Amino acid sequence: MTQEQLKELICENFGNDKEDIQMESTLQEDLGLDSLDAVELSMAIEEQFGIEIPDEDFANLKTFGDLLEFVSEK
């Protein structure tokens, strides 16, 4: 998964602008994702990219950069 693909997924599902998503952007504060959004994002990533993200791992991902790094390693 590329950075652009992940940004696109977030924009499509949550209405964010690509320009607003930076590596240091926090998922909660900067991108405005609440706990339900986080579950939806996790499920969307799993479905689109065929990977599994355990809930306890996703809970530790705080920034877009954290998420990109985790997903890229899968």
- List average pLDDT for each run of 10 residues in the chain, which is 74 residues long: 92 96 97 95 94 92 96 89
> In CATH, what number is assigned to the domain containing residue 34?
1.10.1200.10
Catalytic residues: 34
How many structural domains does the chain have? Answer: 1
Full domain range(s) for residue 41: 3-73
Model pLDDT, residue 4: 95
- Distance, in Å, from the CA atom of 12 to the CA atom of 35, rounded to the nearest integer, reads 18
